Structure 1
Amino acid sequence: MRTIPMTPIALVTGIEGFTGPYMARELEQQGYRVHGLRRSGESCDTVTAVDLLDAEGLSTVLGRVKPDVIVHLAGISNVAHHDVSAIYQSNVVGTRNLLDAAARLSRAPSSVLVASSAHVYGPSSHALLTEQSPMAPFNDYAVSKVAAEYVTRLYADRLPIMVTRPFNYIGIGQALSFFVAKVVDHALRGERVLRLGNLDVERDFTDVRDLVHCYALLTGQPRAGEVVNICSGRSVSLRSVIGLVEELSGMTFEIHSDNQFVRDNEVNRLAGSNAHLLALTGGYAFRPLRETIQWMLEGR
Structure 2
Amino acid sequence: MRVLITGITGPVGSFLADYLLTLPNLEIHALKRWRSDPRPIEHLQGKVTFHEGDIEDAFAMATLLRRVLPDRIFHLAAQSYPSASWDAPVTTLRANTEGTLNILEAVRVAVPQARVHIACTSAQYGIVNPADVPIKESHPLRPGSPYGVSKAAAEMLSLQYHQSYGLHVVVTRSFNHVGPRQGDRCSIQTFCQQMAAIEAGQSEPVMHVGNLEPQRDFSHFSDVARALWLLLEKAPAGEVYNLCSGVATRIGDIVELVRRFGRVPIEVRLDPSRLRPVDEPILQGDNSKLRQATGWEPQIGMEQIVQEVLDFWRERYGIL
Are the equivalent residues in 2 in contact too, given 1:160–1:222 (CA < 8 A)? no
Task: Show structure 1 runs of 4+ deviating over 3 A.
Answer: none
SS at match of 2:224: helix
Question: 1:148 corresponds to which residue?
Answer: 154
Are the equivalent residues in 2 in contact too, given 1:124–1:271 (CA < 8 A)? no
CA distance in 2, matches of 1:41, 1:199: 33
Are the equivalent residues in 2 in contact too, given 1:41–1:49 (CA < 8 A)? no
Are the equivalent residues in 1 in contact too, given 2:235–2:294 (CA < 8 A)? no
How far does residue 271 in structure 1 lie from its aligned partner after superposition? 0.8
Deviates more, 1:213-222 or 1:87-96: 213-222
TM-score when normalising by structure 1? 0.92
- Tell whether 2:21 aligns with 1:34: no
How far does residue 244 in structure 1 lie from its aligned partner after superposition? 1.0
CA distance in 2, matches of 1:217, 1:64: 26
- Tell whether 2:218 aligns with 1:205: yes
Unaligned runs of 5+ in 2: 37-45, 316-320
Match of 1:115 among 102, 113, 119: 119
Over aligned residues, Cα RMSD in angstroms? 1.9
TM-score when normalising by structure 2? 0.87
CA distance in 2, matches of 1:97, 1:298: 38
CA distance in 2, matches of 1:298, 1:167: 23
Are the equivalent residues in 2 in contact too, given 1:11–1:67 (CA < 8 A)? yes
CA distance in 1, matches of 2:35, 2:68: 18
How far does residue 125 in structure 1 lie from its aligned partner after superposition? 2.3
**1:26-71 CA-partner distances (Å, limit 9, x unpaired):** 12222322100112369x9711111212212211110110000000
- Tell whether 2:75 aligns with 1:49: no
CA distance in 1, matches of 2:57, 2:251: 40
Match of 2:11 among 5, 14, 18: 18
SS at match of 1:232: coil
Question: 1:9 corresponds to which residue?
Answer: 2
How far does residue 226 in structure 1 lie from its aligned partner after superposition? 1.3
2:155 aligned partner, one-letter code: E
2:118 aligned partner, one-letter code: V
Are the equivalent residues in 2 in contact too, given 1:117–1:165 (CA < 8 A)? yes
- Counterparts of 1:221-260 in structure 2, within 5 Å, are 221-260=234-273
2:81 aligned partner, one-letter code: N
Are the equivalent residues in 2 in contact too, given 1:76–1:90 (CA < 8 A)? yes
CA distance in 1, matches of 2:277, 2:283: 16
CA distance in 2, matches of 1:85, 1:129: 28
2:10 aligned partner, one-letter code: G
Distance change in 2, residues 1:251/1:219 (3 Å):
farther
**1:100-158 CA-partner distances (Å, limit 9, x unpaired):** 0001125521x100000000001122221011111111210000010101111221133
CA distance in 1, matches of 2:83, 2:261: 29
CA distance in 2, matches of 1:196, 1:84: 24
- Bigger helix share: 2
CA distance in 2, matches of 1:89, 1:155: 18
CA distance in 2, matches of 1:153, 1:275: 21
Deviates more, 1:185-194 or 1:73-82: 185-194
Question: 1:95 corresponds to which residue?
Answer: 100
CA distance in 1, matches of 2:81, 2:147: 8
Deviates more, 1:282-291 or 1:63-72: 282-291
Number of equivalences: 292
CA distance in 2, matches of 1:18, 1:121: 23
- Counterparts of 1:61-210 in structure 2, within 5 Å, are 61-81=64-84, 82-105=87-110, 108-109=113-114, 111-126=115-130, 127-156=133-162, 157-189=165-197, 190=199, 191=203, 192-210=205-223
How far does residue 220 in structure 1 lie from its aligned partner after superposition? 1.8
SS at match of 1:10: strand
Unaligned runs of 5+ in 1: 1-7
Distance change in 2, residues 1:67/1:193 (3 Å):
same
1:121 aligned partner, one-letter code: Y
Distance change in 2, residues 1:95/1:107 (3 Å):
closer
SS at match of 1:19: helix
2:154 aligned partner, one-letter code: A
How far does residue 298 in structure 1 lie from its aligned partner after superposition? 2.8
Question: 2:232 corresponds to which residue?
Answer: 219
CA distance in 2, matches of 1:77, 1:195: 22
Percent identity between matched residues is 30
**1:230-253 CA-partner distances (Å, limit 9, x unpaired):** 111111111110111111224433
